[in-house]
Chains A and B, each alone.
Chain A
Amino acid sequence: MADYKKEKGDALYEISDPGHAYENRQEIYYNDNVGGRAVFVDSKEQYGSDEPYDDSVYIPEKDRDKAPILEVKGLGIDFGGLTAVDNFNLALGRTEIGGLIGPNGAGKTTIFNMLTKVYEPTRGEIFFDGKSTKGMNTVDINKAGMARTFQNIRLFDKLTVEENIKVALHHTTNYGLIDGMLHTPKYRHEEFRIRKEAMKYLKIFGMTKTADYRAGSLPYGAQRRLEIMRALATKPKLLLLDEPAAGMNPSETSELMETIKEIRDRFQIGVFLIEHDMSLVMGICEGIVVLNYGRTIAKGSAKDIQSNPKVIEAYLGKSRGKMEEEEKNEDIEEALSKGKLESAPSGKPDRKEDE
């Protein structure tokens, strides 16, 4: 990031990477997150500083002695001339539950897509389990031990619930095409084994009764759970959850929180989740990253985030008067601490990013 010289008052920076072109612009961004009120925000301030965060600080204590499961350094992606994500850094502990939040269009799902190589990052490096993921594709990433769910549920609709999990157990099922076509004793043995294993996963989520039903015909909450189950069945070391609580009611959300914790404790894996529901994020995430306009604006524990003025600004916009600002901050802090702040309309997931 320090490839170019920055001098105040000098508009002609030396730019080594076109991705940073927006640094040049002295644009004013229009932020309309506060009930219809126009609030103008200086882009420079909004983006946050370029100083790299010391990520190791944010790893919870229990994971500090082990190498992080996921390490991201200076990750960025451009779509044409648009920089969607820039200078994203992260270190996630082995058994940490990490959260990624930010307003709609901040680039959260884009980061997930880069981690799972749906998109190839323009800049930066991703180290998963100590190894660089350069040159890997989505399939390799999953085989390496990273599994994900999707913002708009992507199940195998016409297969049954049980089969959905059996597909995820594909690589641990040990027989060839000939066995599959002729149903040899080896096939029977392996099928029996993975059926039992699939039922084990269903039992964890209390969905054994739904095993024979088509995945596409299940109620919404059950579909979300099945998607998490399917990701888990690939035996990941890191689970990425893209808005797991979207469209759930408060009681379902609180159940989901317990489920996520239980998954982490039971399988001893890392979880990294995107969520708009603040009660979930503040409730279970040990480390939180806040993203706005593709830039990291804050990092830390739930407490740090709740009191961070930049976060509040990103969500609600900056007010003009200082008095007003202080007043509002108190309100927001109150709301955040109660976990009631609906940061963004969670019923309207920004689908275009995921497609």
Chain B
Amino acid sequence: MAERILKNIRIGGLKNAVKGNDYRKEATISYAILIGGYILLQVLSAAGIVGHNLQGQFVPICVYVSLAVSLNLVVGISGELSLGHAGFMAVGAFSGILMSRVLLQSMTFEPLILIISMLFGAFMASIAGFIIGIPILGLRGDYLAIVTLAFGEIIRNFMNVLYFGFVDGKLKFAFNHTIEGIEDTDRIITGAIGATGTKTMASFTWGLLLCLFTVFIVLNLKNSKQGRAIMSIRDNRIAGESIGLDVRKYKLMAFVVSAALAGMAGCLFGLNYSTLVPVKFNFNTSVLILVFVVLGGVGNIWGGIIAATLLTILPETFRQFADYRMLTYAIVLILVMICTYNPAIKSRITALWNKVKPKKKDNGPGGKPRKKKAGKEAA
């Protein structure tokens, strides 16, 4: 029986069938881009080709790459649109800064402080993601996007009224008014003024490690039973339920892991500047991260890495045009949308790509080379 079915499949044709995702290839490309990019930028800056301004952008580039990868977990792998990523970044940044200041009271070994702060930032962001995720993950599509947008703004506004500082060596906090009897140097977070007096610890190498870690987690998750459950719910919710997958649980899982990774990246971002204002984490930043994801290809991890790098470097190198940055983003987004979703243009691009692409000997699934005739008939 099996023989006959196999024969049928060969006749019915796997010729139109498409190979699935190759996880190993995807991981190799992603790590190669990250490490290659790191070495390239280090060499260029050592040779003095890269300017001082751009060198200051190295950590933010890493942070944005990491954010693009973690947002891809929600947008690409879970298939839901989230517009509140900057909110989780903010939670991670401010809680990480807070932790680093507390740890600095008793410790001097910076790498350990940085790691603990980042883990704390990730933890706090995951809690925020969990609390937000529970009520909203019953929503889908546009509705979810709008609610995440609102929550992102709520988090930022919450930061606007948050005060933290040391009074007589004790950590104190307040809402919506300054802490009494506080010295200027003991302030950690001062409402809308943000975090001040942060000891900067971030470096390009830490940035690279962050990116590698994020890519490692996201790619591993994608190729695990949890990742498969998340992707299958994206592909077909009803069928997912019919084979016993808890839809809410796995949507929440993707959301929380993504928030935790964003918190971690946010913490590194926070520890890169001595002062950091909450306004930095507004809606524009969320959209910026989404632009990286969309430009790199939704669900494509290494595409997001390249997009985030280019879109952070380019405005920096062409500083004189920086005013037109948002305009450029809009145009780039529109062009990408048209090119990837317009069937006519898409088929032209594929045809062009097929001409350029080096030809391989194409063996059919039966192990025998396919006949040319069959291919023509299909066309």
Contact = CB atoms under 8 A, between A and B. Distances in A.
A221 B8 contact: yes
Contact of B17 (A154, A171, A191, A217): A217
Contacts of A173: 225
Contacts of B16: 217, 219
Contacts of B220: 180-183
B18 A139 contact: no
A218 B14 contact: yes
B243 A170 contact: yes
B8 A170 contact: no
B238 A225 contact: no
State the main secondary structure of chain B at its contact with A: helix
Contacts of B241: 137-139, 142
Interface string B352-379: 0000000000000110000000000000
A161 B365 CA distance: 14
Given A160-B21, A170-B228, A181-B257, A139 B246 contact: yes
A75 to B, nearest CB: 19
Interface string B222-248: 001111110110111011111111100
B20 interface: yes
A230 interface: yes
Interface stretch (A126-134, A203-211, A304-312, A342-350): A203-211
B13 interface: yes
B327 interface: no
A213 interface: yes
A79 B239 CA distance: 23
B236 A139 contact: no
B370 to A, nearest CB: 14
A155 B236 contact: yes
Nearest to B16: A217
A118 interface: yes
B25 interface: no
Interface residues of A, number: 65
A173 B227 CA distance: 13
Interface string B135-169: 00000000000000000000000000000000000
Given A139-B244, A206-B5, A156 B221 contact: no
Nearest to B239: A154
B235 A158 contact: yes
B158 to A, nearest CB: 28
B18 A210 contact: no
B20 A212 contact: yes
Given A154-B238, A159-B235, A181-B217, A205 B5 contact: yes
A207 B17 contact: no
16 contacts: A156-B239, A159-B20, A159-B235, A162-B20, A166-B228, A168-B243, A170-B245, A177-B257, A194-B225, A205-B2, A214-B18, A214-B20, A217-B16, A222-B9, A234-B243, A234-B244
Interface of B: 1-6, 8-9, 12-14, 16-21, 217, 220-221, 224-229, 231-232, 234-236, 238-246, 253, 257, 365-366
Interface of A: 116, 118, 137-139, 142-143, 147-148, 150, 154-164, 166-168, 170-171, 173, 175, 177, 179-183, 187, 190-191, 194, 203-207, 209-210, 212-214, 217-222, 225, 230-231, 233-234, 251-252, 255, 258-259, 262
Given A155-B235, A222-B12, A225-B5, 4 more contacts: A156-B235, A159-B235, A175-B224, A205-B5
